[in-house]
Amino acid sequence: MKLHQAKLQHSFFDTFKHRGDLHLSQVSPSGLQQPVLVSANRQLANELGLDPDCLDSEAFLQLMAGHITGEHFNPIALVYSGHQFGVWAGQLGDGRAITLGELPVNAPSDASGKPILWDIQLKGAGTTPYSRFADGRAVLRSSIREYLCSEAMHNLGIATTRALALVDSQTQVYREEVESGATVCRVAQSHIRFGSFEHFHYRNQPEAVKALADYVIQRNFPEWQNEDNKYRLMLENCVLKTAKMIAQWQAVGFNHGVMNTDNMSIIGDTIDYGPFGFFDSYDPEHICNHSDTQGRYSFKNQPSVGLWNLNALATALTSLISNSDLVSALKQYEPEYLNQYRTIMASKIGLEQYQSDDENLINQLLELLQINKVDYTIFFRSLADFSTNNIDIRDQFIDREGFDSWAEKYRIRIAQQKLSAQQRKQRMNAVNPKYVLRNYMAQAAIEAAEQGDYSEVNLLLSILQSPYDEHPQAQKYAGLPPDWADQLAVSCSS
């Protein structure tokens, strides 16, 4: 097998060993019984430089199922804390995630010339010291959702953890009912969270906060290691990357659902896919998490929650960064978010450049979409045909006169550009996906997989890895969702 034991390095573990193992615990995964490979992500394997033949091997299956043997592995779980639904929750940690090691991947674009390290992590491989009386397992349905959504987000151009493999098994897991245990192999350039820094800050361990920050900089930003202001640079980068990430969520209609500080990545990746959801009809009040009874993590609240979480991170870094630098870094969030969001939304309606008057045009459109309960993804995809097929676009609205009024303003605006209708369509189809992972699509894959049919998982993976293409074999997922889709609910346990 070429994943492979010799390629997994131990620098992550050794980094903290001489600091007293404050940041992690060594663990032993508990392998799944009678594992079956549901899907292997060949696109990601290729990017990681893995031998594609290894994905079909028995050794790969056993490793992905948590059967760890040999001296090459030294699995760990990380400790962290966090604010959950705005309330300090104290110590948390990797309760069902176990990091096997790091995979060095050569990246020509890396100016340092050093390989980029990717964590190889199993989710659902048994208990850790941070499982808090839980079983450390993941069920098949939630594992399918994370596997598919992380790849969907990546191919939409949104920073995210990735997923290399998905494994089903005969291991019984007890939730509301007995379900199949599963594992997802999660891959990321960092699994360090805002809550990782909060953990040591609130334990009054500034030396551990510093050790963690030094590790993040050494691992992810080696060009800053000798800079006097390296900690401020780390925070500023996190502020800007988080602002961009959330702007992209808002533009594509993605609701994370559980934006606790322990679910926020220090490098600005989307992390921890639980009760997420993509829009069907546009609704800024949408709450995708059935457990979020107060609506803290509603779609419209995501930008402000992002800033709240960054404030929590800044508080945890007060031993490293001056108050004035903390404030300066946080002040960059709102303008960066607005710049990113406005730029993306302008491109979604076919504008080459955002102008100040375009905000009214975009906001009026979103208001029309909300009032008329128009499907978000289908509308923006169809808008590319505005000049040749206005009837189909207009018919998506109950208030056709309202759409006509907006369309006339839009017609005047796009006439100010030099783009031809065909050029505009090509640009719009490159930023407005044909497919996103709607809940009913994931549910169809889950129901088939629970019967032992994994073909729908792999069909969706292939679609979501090129979401801007037409995919004639998947037209059943290109139209309006079925009526029963409104009845689907997901929670933190999903």
Mean pLDDT by 10 residues, the chain (494 residues): 52 55 84 97 94 91 90 86 97 94 74 79 94 91 97 98 97 92 96 97 96 93 95 98 98 97 98 94 93 94 98 98 98 98 98 96 98 97 86 92 95 94 96 97 96 97 97 92 72 51
> Could you tell me if 163 and 310 lie in one domain?
no
Instruction: Provide the pLDDT for residue 23.
Output: 85
- Give φ, ψ of 99 to 5 degrees: -85, 125
Is 107 a domain residue? yes
> Could you tell me if 39 and 111 lie in one domain?
yes
Is 68 a domain residue? yes
**Residue 370 and residue 299 in contact, taking contact as beta carbons nearer than 8 Å:** no
Hey, what amino acid is at 251? A
Residues in the chain: 494
Instruction: Provide the pLDDT for residue 250.
Output: 98
Is 359 a domain residue? no
Q: What is each CA distance from 358 to 234, 341, 366, in whole angstroms? A: 33, 12, 12
Domain span at 63: 5-189
Instruction: Provide the pLDDT for residue 387.
Output: 81
Task: Kindly name the residue from 94, 119, 168, 262 that is annotated as catalytic.
Answer: 262
Active site residue 262: yes
> Could you tell me if 97 and 212 lie in one domain?
no
> Could you tell me if 57 and 109 lie in one domain?
yes
Count of structural domains, the chain: 2
Instruction: Provide the pLDDT for residue 489.
Output: 64
Domain-terminating residue out of 342, 371, 406: 342
Hey, what amino acid is at 395? D
Instruction: Provide the pLDDT for residue 80.
Output: 96
Instruction: Provide the pLDDT for residue 113.
Output: 67
Residues 6+ apart with CB under 8 A from 65: 31, 32, 35, 125, 167, 169, 183
Is 220 a domain residue? yes
| Distance, CA of 209 to CA of 16 (rounded, Å) | 12
Domain-terminating residue out of 342, 362, 386: 342
Is 51 a domain residue? yes
Q: 3-state SS of the chain?
A: CCCCHHHCECHHHHHHHCCCCCCEEECCCCCCCCCEEEEECHHHHHHCCCCHHHHHCHHHHHHHCCCCCCCCCCCEEECCEEEECCEEEEECCCCCEEEEEEEEECCCCCCCCCCEEEEEEEECECCCCCCCCCCCEEEHHHHHHHHHHHHHHHHCCCCECEEEEEEECCCEEECCCEEEEEEEEEEECCCCEHHHHHHHHHCCCHHHHHHHHHHHHHHHCHHHCCCCCHHHHHHHHHHHHHHHHHHHHHHHCEECCCCCHHHEECCCCECCCCCCEECCECCCCCCCECCCCCCCCCHHHHHHHHHHHHHHHHHHCCCCCCHHHHHHHHCCHHHHHHHHHHHHHHHHCCCCCCCCCHHHHHHHHHHHHHHCCCEHHHHHHHHHHCCCCHHHHHCCCCCHHHHHHHHHHHHHHHHCCCCCHHHHHHHHHCCCCCCCCCHHHHHHHHHHHCCCCCHHHHHHHHHHCCCCCCCHHHHHHCCCCCHHHHHCCECCCC
> Could you tell me if 171 and 234 lie in one domain?
no
Is 338 a domain residue? yes
> Could you tell me if 81 and 169 lie in one domain?
yes
| Distance, CA of 104 to CA of 22 (rounded, Å) | 24
Domain-terminating residue out of 189, 223, 254: 189
Of 189, 180, 98, 165, give the one whose Cα is nearest residue 136.
98
> Could you tell me if 170 and 94 lie in one domain?
yes
Is 473 a domain residue? no
Is 306 a domain residue? yes
> Could you tell me if 130 and 268 lie in one domain?
no
> Could you tell me if 272 and 211 lie in one domain?
yes
